[in-house]
Chain A
């Protein structure tokens, strides 16, 4: 039973299209994240939700919009895709108590290729 699952695993699409990536976790965690891993493998936080509330919103173009319908789900919608959006997008989850410094559990990643 996968703890953090993302779909789809691969997306290939044309510039200008809109796409969504879905994420679900069954760990009972309060906090979920989206990370972007670029072509140089650098991992950068994009967004985080804690109990459906947006708590981290890094400098990301407005074309990216996260949505958390409940604390077990976090989706990422990307409008007007650009070549530079090609990357691997990781969803992750964690316990969310104040003062907690434990690990994040990652999904398998969704590789987005924009042509």
Chain B
């Protein structure tokens, strides 16, 4: 069964606007971590933000925030004030406490328009 679901294959956003990337996950573990990674066209995987399942506050890192809704098993990424350099593929991922690996979603391509 798919552990991470990203339903938006591609999105366009106007420069300086905010964009929300959807992510839902499936786990029966109580302890897990949720992540967002960015992959620009150059190909590297850049870690953006982390949310632990026991964290009560939503994680924020600069212009990135993670909207964590535990009951709905959702971990949406919000990018505020989009910049042209934000154009990339974004992956949601999860690491369960009894598992060493990250399981990734299919990714969402974001294109920022000037």
A contact residues vs B (CB 8 Å cutoff)? 31, 33, 40-45, 48, 50, 55-56, 88, 90, 92, 94, 96, 99, 101-106, 108-109, 111
Q: Are B100 and A99 neighbours in the complex by a CB distance under 8 Å?
A: no
Can you list 27 contacts pairing A with B, beta carbon distance less than 8 Å? A40-B106, A42-B107, A43-B91, A45-B102, A45-B103, A50-B100, A55-B100, A56-B101, A90-B45, A92-B45, A99-B97, A101-B31, A101-B33, A101-B53, A101-B96, A102-B95, A103-B33, A103-B35, A103-B50, A103-B95, A103-B102, A106-B37, A106-B45, A106-B47, A109-B43, A109-B45, A111-B43
Chain B contributes a number of interface residues (CB within 8 A of A) equal to: 25
A92 to B91, CA, bound (A): 15
Report the minimum CB–CB distance from A40 to chain B (whole Å): 8
The verdict on B79 contacting chain A, using a C-beta distance below 8 Å, is no
A-side contacts of B103, CB under 8 Å: 45
Contact assessment for A108 and B44 in the assembled complex, using a CB-CB cutoff below 8 Å: yes
A48 close to B43 (CB less than 8 A): no
Bound state CA distance, A40 and B107, in angstroms? 10
* A42-B104, A94-B100, A96-B100 known; A101 vs B44 contact (CB < 8 Å): no
